[in-house]
Amino acid sequence: MNDRLQALRLFQRAARLGSFSRAGRERGLSQPSASRIIAELERAIGATLFIRTTRAVTLTEAGADYLARIEPLIASLDEADYIVRGTGELRGTLQVALSSSFGVREVIPRLPEFMARHPLLRINLQISDERQNLVIEGVDIALRLGVLSDSSAIARKLATAPRLLVAAPIYLARAGIPQTPAELANHAVIIGPVANPEQRWSFVRDTRRLSVRVDGRLSIAVNEGAMAAAVAGLGIARTSSWGCRAELADGRLRQVLADWPMDAVDLHAVFPGGRAASPAARALANYLSAALAGSGIQH
């Protein structure tokens, strides 16, 4: 029974990753061993689950149907084990998707305490500035900032951080300090990391909303690049409080137009649709929500 369950778990990961070798490495198996276990599973159920090529493995129609049927069973079994233990002890591997800047600045520094609480839990951080497909990549929980795209995923808001404008003292000494949003037209602006097609920045003051169009010679897709450009004196950048906390604290950046609040940015925990969130995914979401509550980020 245990061998069959382990084979099913391996099949599930191989199906999501499109690779026997990657799925095997996660479970401490060589590629030949992973291939052998999958082949034995196929013989046991009497169906071919994968189409194998030199580059990847893909599910057959029977394999896709089998995956859809076993995933809820595996999730239910994990939940039952967790409840029956009654200790709050988490096991297995938690797949977490998140952006590079938020991961490095806010999540990784908070992981030691979480991992110390759950010494039997493994965590795989899938750090990327491209939004992963939660189902295909086998993600248990994604930490997403900003507006969520429509999907079948289940989301839970964990925190809200102020969005603000920042610039380096050397830039402000050279170009002056804008006093109103309209004066941004006379300043160098760094576009990114999150830009809308119209490149407009919105402000709210005394219930009055003001939207100004911005244009800059420099566009950067990731927060770390935008902050580095701002520190270098290349202009005024927009980010959230988590994205510039260290630079504001040590004086490399200063907030601009602090009297003109901008729309906040929400942090969501996103769980793949079609199955219940795993105990480990829920535990991480709860932990981060509580940890961020003491960091100056609003809930």
pLDDT, tens digit (0-9, with 9 covering 90-100), for 269-298 = 998 875 668 889 999 999 999 999 856 454
- Asked if 104 and 248 sit in the same domain, the reply is no
Please list, in sequence order, all residues whose beta carbon lies within 8 angstroms of the beta carbon of residue 133, skipping any fewer than 6 positions away.
none
Tokens of 260: 């003109």
DSSP string, 111-147: HHHHHHH-TTEEEEEEE-SSPP-TTTTT-SEEEEESS
CATH of the domain at 272: 3.40.190.10
Residue tagged 């896709």 (tokens) = 64
Do 249 and 186 belong together in one domain?
Answer: yes
Residues 222 and 278 in one domain: no
- Judge if 150 and 275 occupy the same domain: yes
Same domain, 193 and 223: yes
Contact 135, 216 (CB under 8 A): no
Q: What is the DSSP string of 84-118?
A: HH-S----EEEEEEE-HHHIIIIIGGGHHHHHHH-
Q: Given 41, 68, 86, which residue is the final one in a domain?
A: 86
Are residue 6 and residue 127 in the same domain, yes or no? no
Structural domain span for residue 299? 89-157+267-299
| Same-domain pairing of 169 and 247 | yes
pLDDT cut 90: percent of the chain above it:
54
Looking at the structure, tell me whether residues 201 and 271 fall in a common domain.
Answer: no
* Pair 19, 143 in one domain: no
- Kindly state the DSSP code that residue 187 receives in the 8-state scheme: S
Closest residue by Cα to residue 256 from 185, 169, 195: 169
Sort strands 254-256 and 57-59 into parallel, antiparallel or unpaired: unpaired
Of the listed ranges 27-41, 50-64, 82-96, 267-281, the least confidently predicted one is 82-96
In which residue are the tokens 């046991």 written?
44
Same domain for 31 and 82? yes
Are 248 and 286 members of one domain?
Answer: no
d(CA 193, CA 237) in angstroms, rounded, equals 9
Check if the beta carbon of residue 18 is closer than 8 Å to that of residue 34: no
Domain count for the chain:
3
Average pLDDT over residues 147-175: 89
For the entire predicted model, the pTM comes to 0.77
pLDDT of residue 299: 41
The CATH number of whichever domain residue 255 belongs to comes to 3.40.190.290
Same domain, 150 and 296: yes
